[in-house]
């Protein structure tokens, strides 16, 4: 059973300790690919942008991050400095000092801005869509067979949160649910791939709740998320894969619509 921590710190505002523990495990794992600096920057940026850390949240102590990420203090400080320069983090001194999330740098993009992003991504967008369509259904299927009861409860809590979220929070509640499903698959490589496509498609996915061309995407997505989590909870891998496949296909239809408008704009 997921319970709230009445004494929760600012790292995960009003978030049950079990959910916070899953997100910590996702974003503050040992670096096992690329350079330690790249991993430190990417993991911290992902934690902020994809919704694990809210604005005003304080990062865990330096000693803890060094141990969990498996990087040196120098590398971690360089990563924090980079994110400070990008406007994501700020540091204050004194007894109550520390490093805090300054901004997620999130704003609602216009259709024209999203169309421009799809144009600038070029062939990479199609490759990321293919990656998402291949990896996330597999993650859901594996989660149905591998998730602990605690992980299933975390998924149920994240689903409930996404169903009652304000429009401004939809992207973060959506991404944390998808990431928690990948975490429940218990495969670091799959989790890394899901984090990559969620991060690189972030601006486009953030626009989708406002794309009304194909009906109400929020209601459709909420229902599909429920089907995925229910299948995982029933330990029905085939149903979990199918439900995620249908969900990703619906998302891709909207993205393909943006691509078609891009092509139409180019030919007009």
pLDDT of residue 104: 66
Residue-wise pLDDT tens digits, 154-192: 999 999 998 888 877 888 899 999 999 999 999 999 999
Residue-wise pLDDT tens digits, 199-240: 899 888 888 777 655 556 677 788 899 999 999 999 999 999
pTM over 0.95: no
| 158 within 8 A of 173, measured Cβ to Cβ | yes
Query: Strand runs (DSSP E) across 85-181, as ranges?
Result: 89-92, 98-101
Residue-wise pLDDT tens digits, 31-76: 665 678 888 888 898 888 887 888 889 999 999 999 988 889 999 9
Q: Where are the domains positioned within the chain?
A: 10-101, 111-267
pLDDT of residue 266: 46
- DSSP line for 67-110: HHHT--HHHHHHHHHHHHHTTSEEEE-STT-EEEE------PPP
DSSP label of 31: P
DSSP label of 16: -
Same CATH fold assignment for domains 10-101 and 111-267? no
Domain 10-101 in CATH 2.40.70.10? The answer is no
Give, in order, the Cα–Cα distances in Å from 40 to each of 52, 199, 215, 235: 15, 15, 40, 34
Handedness of CA 104, 133, 170, 58 (dihedral sign): negative
| 88 within 8 A of 101, measured Cβ to Cβ | yes
Specify burial of residue 62 (Cβ count, 10 A radius: 0-12, 13-18, 19+). Answer: middle
Domain 111-267 in CATH 1.20.120.530? The answer is yes
- Could you give the CA distance from residue 2 to residue 18 in angstroms, rounded to a whole number? 6
φ, ψ of residue 104 to 5 degrees: the values are -90, -5
């Amino acid at each position: 059973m997921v319970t709230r921590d009445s004494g929760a710190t600012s790292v995960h505002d009003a978030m049950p300790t079990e959910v916070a523990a899953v997100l910590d495990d996702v974003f503050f794992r040992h670096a096992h690919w690329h350079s330690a600096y790249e991993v430190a920057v990417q993991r911290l940026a992902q934690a902020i942008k994809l919704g694990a850390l809210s604005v005003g949240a304080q990062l865990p102590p330096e000693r803890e991050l060094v141990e969990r990420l498996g990087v040196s203090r120098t590398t971690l400080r360089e990563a924090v400095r980079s994110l400070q320069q990008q406007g994501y983090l700020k540091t204050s001194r004194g007894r109550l000092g520390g490093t805090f999330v300054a901004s997620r740098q999130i704003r609602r993009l216009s259709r024209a801005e999203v169309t421009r992003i799809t144009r600038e991504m070029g062939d990479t967008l199609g490759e990321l869509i293919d990656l998402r369509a291949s990896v996330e259904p597999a993650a859901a299927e594996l989660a149905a067979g591998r998730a602990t009861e605690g992980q299933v409860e975390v998924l149920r809590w994240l689903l409930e949160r996404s169903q009652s979220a304000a429009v401004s929070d939809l992207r973060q509640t959506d991404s944390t649910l998808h990431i928690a499903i990948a975490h429940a698959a218990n495969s670091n490589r799959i989790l890394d791939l899901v984090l990559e496509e969620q991060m690189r498609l972030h601006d486009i996915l953030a626009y989708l709740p406002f794309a009304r061309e194909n009906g109400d995407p929020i209601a459709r997505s909420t229902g599909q998320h429920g089907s995925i989590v229910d299948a995982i909870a029933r330990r029905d891998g085939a149903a979990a894969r199918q439900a995620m496949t249908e969900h990703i296909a619906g998302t891709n239809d909207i993205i393909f619509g943006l691509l078609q408008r891009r092509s139409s704009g180019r030919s007009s």
